[in-house]
Amino acid sequence: MLTSGENLPDLAAPDQTGQPRALRELLGERGGIIYFYPKDNTPGCTLEANDFQSLSGEFARAGYAVIGISRDSVKSHAGFCAKHGLQFTLLSDGEGALCVAFGVWQEKTMCGKTSMGIVRTTFVVDAQGRVRRVYENVKTKGHAALVLAELGG
């Protein structure tokens, strides 16, 4: 997994409109909040996305862009954004290159079954693309507010 002090990988992926976007071009004046989540329109992922959306203005005022990433398709992301009024960028990592580069594609066990999947993780990145903080195994409730508070927002 990427750790504090490491640089963002030089990768791009399509956003919810299908436009290819490089990670670095999405950063705000002070950086970005890049969060990886397992699946669009599931309860935990919806709660997390809605929390980031409700605080997106405060993140923007603090100079940080919010970027969500999952392996869902562009079409799924477009529907997720429309259904929940999400105004921030969602990247479709269908091939999993971003998940692997960030180290969030890991073995998981659910109900006794082991499979590979995205481990819910958030990276705070500065404007130069350097990781400043990593939140691993994120619990969705209150996570966006915690990140904002720790940024001083």
pLDDT tens profile 79-127: 999 999 999 999 999 999 999 999 999 998 878 899 999 999 999 999 9
Within 10 Å of residue 95's Cβ, how many Cβ atoms?
10
Measured CA to CA, the distance from residue 38 to residue 30 in angstroms comes to 27
Residue 14 has pLDDT above 90, yes or no: yes
The tens digit of pLDDT for each residue in 24-71 reads 999 999 999 999 999 999 999 999 999 999 999 999 999 999 999 999
Q: How many CA atoms lie within 13 A of 26 on its CB side?
A: 26
Going from N- to C-terminal start, the domains of the chain cover 12-151
Report the C-alpha gap between 82 and 118 in whole angstroms: 23
Look at the pTM and tell me if it is higher than 0.75. Answer: yes
H-type alpha helices, the chain: 43-54, 56-61, 74-84, 97-102, 143-151
Active site residue 45: yes
Number of helices (H) and strands (E), helices first, in the chain?
5, 9
Q: Which of 45, 81, 99, 111 is catalytic?
A: 45
Residue 134: pLDDT band (50, 70, 90) is very high
Rounded to an integer, what distance in angstroms lies between the CA atom of residue 6 and that of residue 49?
A: 26
Which among 124, 134, 70, 99 has a CA at the least distance from the CA of 107? 99
Q: Which CATH code is given to the segment(s) 12-151?
A: 3.40.30.10
Q: What are phi and psi of 31, to 5 degrees?
A: 145, -150
